[in-house]
Chains A and B, each alone.
Chain A
Amino acid sequence: MTVLNELSNAMAAAVENVGASLVRVEGRKRMSATGVVWNSDGVIVTASHVVTRDEELHIGLPNGETVAATLVGRDPTTDVAVLRTAAKNLSVPHWAGGDGLKVGHLVLALGRPGQNVLATLGVVSSIAEEWHTPAGGKIDYYLQTDVTMYPGFSGGPLVGVGGEIYGINSSTLLRGVSVTIPTTTIAPIVDTLLKHGKLRRGYLGVGSQPVRLPAALEQQLGQETGLLLVAVEPNSPAEKGGLMLGDVIVALDGHPVRVPDELLAGLTGDKVGKDAKVKLVRGGQIHEVNITVGERQ
């Protein structure tokens, strides 16, 4: 067999194998999209933006059957939605972390917007550090490919030539490029949604705006701005922890806080109920206080 034939057969086999774990997601008015089986309990992962309604959701199974599904929950900030169907014996694919994936590797984008599995081919264009989506979601690592996002491919997997799934593709997280939400980002979101039905977010109870730090502090802290507290809610975690109007927050748990987004991004769900170290400037002096993070309702 020629090497070309071997490559061609391997790609077709990867499509066929992973295709057994792909479902059609009927959750919006226009064209259906794609979902991927997460576990054998009928949990399906897809893109949040393709599930525009919360009810009357349907899943098209690889065997042609259409079954009802319920929305477990969604995280619009990372464009992940989790559905559940009563269907059993779904084929669970090999969800992989990004170890070993390199720029230039061949990858396939798969979809099942209709009855059949469809595939496009591309290469990994860029792998980079952790990033935040425009909506504020934290993504473990940046993964961009040049795969063609065929209509209905959102929510479908990015597949390596060995049939491993590196994440799910979204055509809307960033405009004009195909980015993949990595498996390592999806896993904790799915766990949290299955447990709580929503993503927990930490909460301090402050209103803030960025301000320029005095030159001496700027040099000492290595950052140009901090967050001036312009509101502290009564009985909030911030007030209980002793934060006051006029304080300038400069760091949360060791991470610099320069703009409001950095404070929001730092208040992840796992911090709820735990003490966070807040570094702040008060009266020209640097202080550090412990605040028990509340949960955003």
Chain B
Amino acid sequence: MGIAAAEFEAVGEVEIGGSDRLRQLNDDISDAIDRAYHALVQITNGERSIGAGTIWHSEGLILTNAHVVHDEQPNVTLNDGRKFPARVLYYNAELDLAALSIEASGLPTIEPGDSKHLKPGQWVMALGHPWGVRNAVSGGIVIGMGAEMPDIPFSSREWVVVSLHMRPGHSGGPLIDTAGRLIGINTMISGPDVGVAVPVHVVKKFLKDSMA
């Protein structure tokens, strides 16, 4: 025992090592997620999780995909646990976007980012509830943007295509940049490691056109 304890102490003195910059990198990643996390909501029908949503306006405007709320009676669960029945305010199947309204105010929102000037290779993260697992994050980079991406259906529309794990349950959740800003709404999968999001500038136009 004595020997084992001595050995243990010796090991205890050894520097674990690693890099301060790598630790800083991890902290930066959590900071970005912290800034966006509270704007992520879960959308359910009864007890069934049907997808994710993103708080757009503090007075109860929630964004999600049209396919998430199609033929559903959606409820919205906030990250603080409160649950609200939701009304589908705007719905556009072609853009796969929907805006929901809940009777709440003072909700935490997310800062919109610049989706018109994304660069292939830049770091992004997708927030959502893949397979119903709450508040999960996956990370990767932008593969490319715009219309006419190879292998993407509805290729005449604008997309952000990302190299990360996206799964059912991510739909409607935020895609964020390194500063935790919203650059897209997670929408579909085009391969096991390829996710597709609607860029936030398309979301803005959808809301503007719907309200007009």
Residues of A within 8 A of B (CB): 2-5, 7-9, 11-16, 19, 31, 108, 113-121, 148, 150-152
Contacts and interface: CB of A to CB of B under 8 A. Distances in A.
A42 to B, nearest CB: 25
The 6 tightest CB contacts between A and B, nearest first, are A15-B121, A4-B28, A8-B123, A12-B119, A118-B144, A11-B121
B194 interface: yes
A16 B119 contact: yes
B144 A11 contact: no
Contacts of B146: 116
Contacts of A150: 143, 150-151, 163, 191, 194
Interface in B121-168: 121-123, 140-146, 148-151, 161, 163
Contact of A113 (B29, B150, B193): B150
A4 B24 CA distance: 8
Contacts of B142: 12, 119
B141 A121 contact: yes
Interface in B1-56: 21-22, 24-25, 28-29, 31-32
B127 to A, nearest CB: 16
A4 B32 contact: yes
A4 B178 contact: yes
B137 to A, nearest CB: 13
A11 B178 contact: no
Contact of B141 (A4, A120, A151, A152): A120
A8 B25 CA distance: 11
Given A12-B120, A115-B148, A150-B150, A2 B141 contact: no
Given A3-B21, A148-B193, A116 B178 contact: no
Contacts of B178: 2, 4-5, 8
B179 interface: yes
Contact of B29 (A4, A11, A16, A19): A4
B123 A118 contact: no
18 contacts: A3-B22, A3-B25, A5-B178, A8-B177, A11-B122, A11-B123, A12-B122, A13-B121, A14-B121, A15-B119, A16-B121, A108-B141, A116-B146, A118-B120, A119-B120, A119-B142, A148-B194, A151-B151
Interface residues of B, number: 32
Interface in B56-79: none
Contacts of B163: 119-121, 148, 150
A152 B120 contact: no
Contacts of B29: 4
Given A116-B144, A118-B143, A118-B144, A5 B120 contact: no
A2 B121 contact: no
A3 B32 CA distance: 12
A5 B151 contact: no
B28 A108 contact: no
Interface in B177-200: 177-179, 191, 193-194
Nearest to A113: B150
A5 B142 CA distance: 14
A158 to B, nearest CB: 14
Given A8-B178, A11-B122, A116-B144, A151 B150 contact: yes
Nearest to A9: B122
Given A118-B144, A119-B143, A121-B140, A4 B123 contact: yes
A19 B121 CA distance: 11
B120 A116 contact: yes
Contacts of B123: 4, 7-8, 11
A289 B39 CA distance: 78
Contacts of B151: 150-151
Contacts of B194: 148, 150
Question: Which of A31, A115, A117, A121 has the most B CB atoms < 10 Å from its CB?
Answer: A121
Contacts of B31: 2
